[in-house]
């Protein structure tokens, strides 16, 4: 049973989401970023937040504050208003920048990652205040950036420089998800990431492929370089890559072991035909294994039929997902040394913006325990607590400079197609997210 006040707050949140999804805030392409920042600022100011706007590399950073300065607990919420590119456009069943409801799901770029999270929490704050009959004895700070999908290039320095302004007792991370059965999934850490492009060129013009007997092929060279990066099980083979991996704590290992399921949902939702690892290894790999991904590989002819061409050049895009205490810059150095040692000294490495340290919170911290307990109560099921997400984000500055534990819980779902066509959330999860936000803030205010 949804109480009447909750239903109204959910609808108001969805109206906010509809307005934000319309804004094409693709940070990789520098689209609509100041406009979207202004819309987010207006939403926060309407709830009494004092909002400061700072310049970022490609998009403004917003810092908002509300609530008594002498509150016993300060919650820092981190969200982002930028989104991934919408391509390939032809695979969307409805326009990416128009929130569209079908069969209990709301589709649109950013519906889940991360506009949906943001508005659900704002709706939860409104609900908590209404239920409390006024302001909560809780200080809420909100950091909303617009560069998360390009690796948050401004955030590390920003959080370091604004550490006092951002001081908090706990950080509520931007995402999180709910299983199809309605179990909340929490994360107490994030993998790091570093993105690079590999480029190879053998001539100043494409050649007739008869010359393949006497001129090397840039796509074969890139393919061989890519093949050398990992084994068939997905373990990275770059010498030194694993040297800085911190062994998981006993609590980390216990948490991973307690997680159920082994990729069945992923398999059923996306028709995945080639899982890596066994079902028993699933959560250990997602939480704790560093990996390399080929995000794109392009060169030569890609049209209909054949073209007997020896391409002049080609390029590959990679991301590395890292675990504590791997260092993104050191991984690039190791990659360079590996390519050189493999005979690929001619392959150029171009570092892309995305570059983040990994981080994992202490699972025994009180804020982590409260977040889990409230989730158990609101969702009515035992939460699934992950030491780390398989995904990445700029967790490092919060752990290093704010010094607070970080927890992620949100409104995503395993069929949410985040970063892909038909990104979506369940209406059920949005509503539950509003309720959770209200309950968590109430609990942190000491009023539950």
Binding mask 98-137 for a copy of itself (x = CB under 8 A): ----------------------------------------
Contact between 317 and a copy of itself by CB under 8 A: the answer reads yes
b/e code 167-193 from CB counts within 10 Å (16+ = b): ebbbbbbbbbbbbeeebbbbbbbbbbb
Contact between 91 and a copy of itself by CB under 8 A: the answer reads yes
How many CB atoms are closer than 10 A to CB 140?
Answer: 25
b/e code 308-345 from CB counts within 10 Å (16+ = b): eebbbbbbbbbbbbbbbebebeebbebbbebbeebebe
Tell me whether residue 38 or residue 207 sits nearer to a copy of itself (CB atom). Answer: 207
Quick check: 120 and 437 in contact, CB under 8 A?
Answer: yes
Instruction: Choose which of 90, 181, 204, 250 interacts with a copy of itself (CB under 8 A).
Output: 204
Which of 19, 59, 75, 61 is CA-nearest to residue 43?
19
Contact between 209 and a copy of itself by CB under 8 A: the answer reads yes
Contact between 212 and a copy of itself by CB under 8 A: the answer reads yes
Binding mask 234-253 for a copy of itself (x = CB under 8 A): x-------------------
Tell me whether residue 268 or residue 364 sits nearer to a copy of itself (CB atom). Answer: 268
Which of 40, 33, 11, 132 is CA-nearest to residue 446?
132
Considering the complex, what minimum distance in angstroms separates the CB of residue 184 from a copy of itself?
18
Quick check: 265 and 180 in contact, CB under 8 A?
Answer: yes
Considering the complex, what minimum distance in angstroms separates the CB of residue 309 from a copy of itself?
5
Tell me whether residue 7 or residue 341 sits nearer to a copy of itself (CB atom). Answer: 341
47 HSE (CA, 13 A, CB side): 26
Considering the complex, what minimum distance in angstroms separates the CB of residue 223 from a copy of itself?
4
Tell me whether residue 74 or residue 354 sits nearer to a copy of itself (CB atom). Answer: 354
Contact between 59 and a copy of itself by CB under 8 A: the answer reads no
Instruction: State the first-to-last Cα distance of the chain, in angstroms, to the nearest integer.
Output: 20
Quick check: 223 and 347 in contact, CB under 8 A?
Answer: no
Q: Is omega for the bond preceding 67 within 30 degrees of 0, making it cis?
A: no
Contact between 261 and a copy of itself by CB under 8 A: the answer reads no
Instruction: Choose which of 28, 163, 237, 332 interacts with a copy of itself (CB under 8 A).
Output: 28
Contact between 87 and a copy of itself by CB under 8 A: the answer reads yes
Tell me whether residue 21 or residue 195 sits nearer to a copy of itself (CB atom). Answer: 195
Tell me whether residue 103 or residue 205 sits nearer to a copy of itself (CB atom). Answer: 205
């Amino acid at each position: 049973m949804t109480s009447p006040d909750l239903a109204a707050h959910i609808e108001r949140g969805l109206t906010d989401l509809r307005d934000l999804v319309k804004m094409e805030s693709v940070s990789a392409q520098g689209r609509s970023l100041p406009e979207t920042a202004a819309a987010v600022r207006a939403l926060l100011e309407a709830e009494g937040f004092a909002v400061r706007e700072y310049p970022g590399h490609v998009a403004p950073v917003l810092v908002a504050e509300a609530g008594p300065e002498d509150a016993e607990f300060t919650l820092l919420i981190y969200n982002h208003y930028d989104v991934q590119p919408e391509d390939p456009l032809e695979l969307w069943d409805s326009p990416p920048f128009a929130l569209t409801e079908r069969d209990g799901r709301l589709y649109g770029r950013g519906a889940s990652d991360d506009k949906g999270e943001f508005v659900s929490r704002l709706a939860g704050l409104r609900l908590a205040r209404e239920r409390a009959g006024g302001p909560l004895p809780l200080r809420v700070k909100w950091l909303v950036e617009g560069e998360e999908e390009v690796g948050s290039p401004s955030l590390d320095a920003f959080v370091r420089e604004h550490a006092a302004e951002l001081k908090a007792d706990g950080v509520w991370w931007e995402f999180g998800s709910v299983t199809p059965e309605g179990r909340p999934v929490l994360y107490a850490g994030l993998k790091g990431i570093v993105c690079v492009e590999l480029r190879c060129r053998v001539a100043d013009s494409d050649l007739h492929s008869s010359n393949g007997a006497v001129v090397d092929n840039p796509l074969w060279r890139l393919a061989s370089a890519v093949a050398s990066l990992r084994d068939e099980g997905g373990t990275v083979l770059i010498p030194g890559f694993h040297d800085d991996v911190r062994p998981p704590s006993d609590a980390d290992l216990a948490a991973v072991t307690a997680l159920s399921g082994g990729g069945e949902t992923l398999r059923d939702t996306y028709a995945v035909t080639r899982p890596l690892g066994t079902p028993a290894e699933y959560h250990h790999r997602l939480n704790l294994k560093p990996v390399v991904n080929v995000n794109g590989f392009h060169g030569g002819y890609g049209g209909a039929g054949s073209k007997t061409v020896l391409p002049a050049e080609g390029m590959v895009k990679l991301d590395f997902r890292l675990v504590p205490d791997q260092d993104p810059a050191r991984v690039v150095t190791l990659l360079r040394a590996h390519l050189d040692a493999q005979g690929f000294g001619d392959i150029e490495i171009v570092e892309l913006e995305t570059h983040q340290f990994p981080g994992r919170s202490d699972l025994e911290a009180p804020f982590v325990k409260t977040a889990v307990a409230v989730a158990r109560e609101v969702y009515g099921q035992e939460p699934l607590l992950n030491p780390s997400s398989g995904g990445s984000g700029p967790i490092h500055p919060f752990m290093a400079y704010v010094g607070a534990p970080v927890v992620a819980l949100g409104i995503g779902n395993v069929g949410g197609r985040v970063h892909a066509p038909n990104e979506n959330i369940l209406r059920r999860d949005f509503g539950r997210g509003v309720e959770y936000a209200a309950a968590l803030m109430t609990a942190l205010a000491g009023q539950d």
